[in-house]
């Protein structure tokens, strides 16, 4: 019999989804031949599309055409949609009138763009060692100093302050929310540190923006980078929003059509930002999806999103506390707020194998590995990987309970299937599950699928 620590407690009030999302009724086949409602606890990797986004895209698709380049009606509509989306993204983030909204592919793209725009003579870039690789590696192409975090946020801020003061600093680049632990960083204090020493600040908003409203103008944040696919807009667009001067002075990030005013055989006059950095045909549906997701999120009553995630995360932490061998990771002893992300290890169990078990036997999707944050995961003592459960607007109490029950069953009874390492990842062996029947594109699941080189075991 499956032991359920959640069911054993007094039943708490139901936590229902806040907004309808695309995968609400998705089914996941199990290796025993049955199927269950898919439990998506992998929002921090890519969140499901909001239904509002799906509807908007269906309405926009007939008018999908080239942007900025055509007199045809669809082209005019697409151009208007793209530029209106840019405005909505800026408004949602509290952009100042003279800020630029560059539509990028994702956060990685946005941060790489900004890294090309930091003036060479302005000083170094300073980062914390808890960053996602996207907010570590682009800066290493120039002069970058890394501040090791301390066991408290207070001591970390003091160390950052000392480091920024110690040498000319152009930019403090810091995440607003850890993608590993979900802990939030105190943005006001980070801005104050940068300002005190004449530096600018860039916030990696990939994990923050889907969970909390951020007003960069009110907070005095110079730049923010984000990904649409983590904010309920699955179409491959992100943004870099912030101060115009560096972006106007930087070399064109993507040289090509649309980024120029005039080209001769041997000269080029570049456009100013944002077009300067958006060479090539723009991703109009990506921008529309992102803007629609932001518009929809902005309709939620203030605090509702945070309250929803707090309730889910607390339920999950309480449930995990009752499962033998589970330890939850956190960076700081004194952090007081976090989004719906809970990362843990299970003593005596390989994280990749637990993730495979959760998927194959329980229809639960989590992320395992080192989360593209190798220095942080090593600092947390989990170099061989951990398991991350992440939630958002479509999550409900039952999702949490299914995960806790599955882990409790693992602790009590062990796995009910065989698993083997294949291409660096644990997979059920045999894997009897079939791919869903989609209208086109025959796909197969399993060992032919490559694993990320940085997550292979």
Ligand X SMILES: Cc1ncc(COP(=O)(O)O)c(C=O)c1O
Q: Which is nearer to ligand X, 202 or 400 (CB)?
A: 202
Q: Return the residue matching tokens 């860039």.
A: 202
**Using CB under 6 A, which of the segments 82-90, 204-212, 264-272, 415-423 binds ligand X?**
204-212
Q: Is 338 in the site for ligand X (CB under 6 A)?
A: no
Q: Is 132 in the site for ligand X (CB under 6 A)?
A: yes
Q: Is 395 in the site for ligand X (CB under 6 A)?
A: no
Q: What is the DSSP letter of 234?
A: -
**Which residues, in sequence order, are bridge partners of residue 263?**
268
| The dihedral formed by the CA atoms of 111, 113, 114 and 120, expressed in degrees to the nearest 10 | 130
* Rounded least distance, CB 445 to ligand X, Å: 23
Q: How many chain residues interact with ligand X (CB under 6 A)?
A: 13
For β-strands 341-346 and 386-390, DSSP reports them as: antiparallel
Q: List, in order, residues 6 or more apart from 34 with CB less than 8 Å away.
A: none
For ligand X, which residue of 106, 295, 359, 395 counts as binding (CB under 6 A)? Answer: 106
Q: Is 114 in the site for ligand X (CB under 6 A)?
A: no
Q: Is 206 in the site for ligand X (CB under 6 A)?
A: yes
Q: Is 370 in the site for ligand X (CB under 6 A)?
A: no
* Rounded least distance, CB 59 to ligand X, Å: 25
* Rounded least distance, CB 206 to ligand X, Å: 4
> 44, 313 in Cβ contact below 8 A?
no
Residues 218-257 that bind ligand X (CB under 6 A): 227
Residues 135-174 that bind ligand X (CB under 6 A): 135
For ligand X, which residue of 175, 181, 296, 335 counts as binding (CB under 6 A)? Answer: 175
Q: Is 283 in the site for ligand X (CB under 6 A)?
A: no
Q: Which is nearer to ligand X, 56 or 175 (CB)?
A: 175
Q: Which is nearer to ligand X, 79 or 108 (CB)?
A: 108
> 27, 35 in Cβ contact below 8 A?
yes
How many residues would you count in the chain?
457
- Longest alpha-carbon distance in the chain: 76
How is residue 236 written in tokens? 């491959």
How is residue 254 written in tokens? 């993507």
For ligand X, which residue of 107, 275, 283, 295 counts as binding (CB under 6 A)? Answer: 107
* Rounded least distance, CB 149 to ligand X, Å: 15
Residue 216 dihedral angles phi and psi, to the nearest 5°: -65, -30
Q: Is 134 in the site for ligand X (CB under 6 A)?
A: yes
How is residue 184 written in tokens? 């939030």
Q: Which is nearer to ligand X, 176 or 258 (CB)?
A: 176
* C-alpha dist (Å) from residue 129 to 162, 194, 377: 15, 17, 10
* Rounded least distance, CB 178 to ligand X, Å: 7
Q: Which is nearer to ligand X, 15 or 391 (CB)?
A: 391
First to last CA, the chain: 32
Calculate the CA 206 to chain-centre distance.
4
Q: Which is nearer to ligand X, 206 or 407 (CB)?
A: 206
**9 tagged catalytic:** no
**Which residues, in sequence order, are bridge partners of residue 128?**
147
List of E strands, 64-153: 100-104, 124-128, 144-147
Q: Is 204 in the site for ligand X (CB under 6 A)?
A: yes
Q: Which is nearer to ligand X, 376 or 404 (CB)?
A: 376
For ligand X, which residue of 40, 78, 85, 207 counts as binding (CB under 6 A)? Answer: 207
Q: Which is nearer to ligand X, 132 or 362 (CB)?
A: 132
Q: List, in order, residues 6 or more apart from 384 with CB less than 8 Å away.
A: 350, 351
Q: Is 179 in the site for ligand X (CB under 6 A)?
A: yes
- Of the residues 144, 177, 202, 372, which is catalytic? 372
> 243, 200 in Cβ contact below 8 A?
yes
Which of 217, 267, 241 is CA-nearest to residue 113?
241
Q: What is the DSSP letter of 47?
A: P
Q: Is 108 in the site for ligand X (CB under 6 A)?
A: yes
Residues that bind ligand X (CB under 6 A): 106-108, 132, 134-135, 175, 179, 204, 206-207, 227, 372
- Which residues are identified as catalytic? 372
């Amino acid at each position: 019999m499956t032991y359920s620590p959640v069911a054993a407690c007094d039943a708490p009030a139901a936590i229902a989804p806040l907004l309808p999302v695309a995968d609400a009724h998705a089914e996941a086949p199990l290796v025993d031949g049955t199927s269950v409602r898919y439990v998506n606890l992998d929002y921090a990797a890519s969140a499901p599309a909001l239904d509002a986004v799906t509807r908007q895209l269906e309405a926009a698709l007939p008018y999908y055409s080239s942007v900025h380049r055509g007199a045809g009606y669809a082209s005019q509509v697409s151009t208007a949609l793209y530029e209106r989306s840019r405005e909505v993204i800026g408004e949602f983030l509290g952009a100042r009138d003279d800020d630029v909204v560059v539509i990028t592919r994702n956060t990685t793209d946005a941060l790489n763009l900004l890294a090309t725009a930091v003036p060479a003579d302005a000083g170094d870039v300073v980062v914390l060692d808890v960053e996602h690789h996207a907010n570590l590696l682009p800066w290493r192409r120039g002069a970058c100093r890394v501040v090791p975090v301390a066991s408290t946020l207070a001591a970390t801020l003091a160390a950052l302050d000392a480091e920024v003061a110690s040498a000319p600093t152009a930019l403090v680049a810091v995440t607003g929310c850890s993608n590993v632990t979900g802990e939030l960083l105190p943005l006001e204090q980070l801005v104050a540190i940068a300002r005190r020493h004449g530096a600018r600040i860039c916030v990696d908003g990939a994990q923050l923006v889907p969970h909390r409203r951020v007003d960069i103008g009110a907070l005095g944040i110079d730049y923010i980078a984000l990904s649409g696919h983590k904010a309920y807009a699955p179409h491959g667009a992100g943004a870099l929003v912030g101060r115009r001067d560096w972006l106007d002075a930087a070399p064109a990030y993507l040289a090509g059509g649309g980024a120029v005013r005039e080209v001769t055989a041997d000269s080029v006059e570049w456009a100013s930002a944002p077009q300067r950095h958006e060479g090539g045909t723009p991703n109009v549906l990506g921008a529309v999806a992102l803007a629609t997701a932001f518009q929809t999120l902005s309709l939620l009553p203030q605090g509702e999103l945070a309250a929803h995630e707090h309730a889910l995360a607390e339920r999950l932490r309480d449930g995990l506390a009752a499962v033998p061998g589970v330890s939850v990771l956190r960076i700081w002893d004194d952090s007081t707020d976090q989004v719906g992300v809970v990362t843990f290890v299970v003593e005596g169990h390989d994280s990749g194998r637990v993730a495979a078990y959760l998927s194959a036997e329980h229809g639960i999707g989590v992320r395992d590995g080192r989360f593209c944050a190798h220095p942080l995961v090593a600092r947390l003592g989990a170099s061989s990987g951990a398991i991350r459960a992440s939630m958002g607007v479509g999550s409900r109490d039952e999702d949490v309970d299914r995960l806790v029950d599955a882990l409790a069953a693992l602790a009590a009874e062990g796995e009910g299937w065989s698993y083997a390492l294949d291409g660096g990842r644990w997979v059920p062996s045999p894997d009897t599950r079939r791919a869903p029947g989609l209208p086109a594109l025959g796909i197969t699941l399993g060992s032919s699928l490559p694993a990320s080189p940085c997550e292979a075991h």
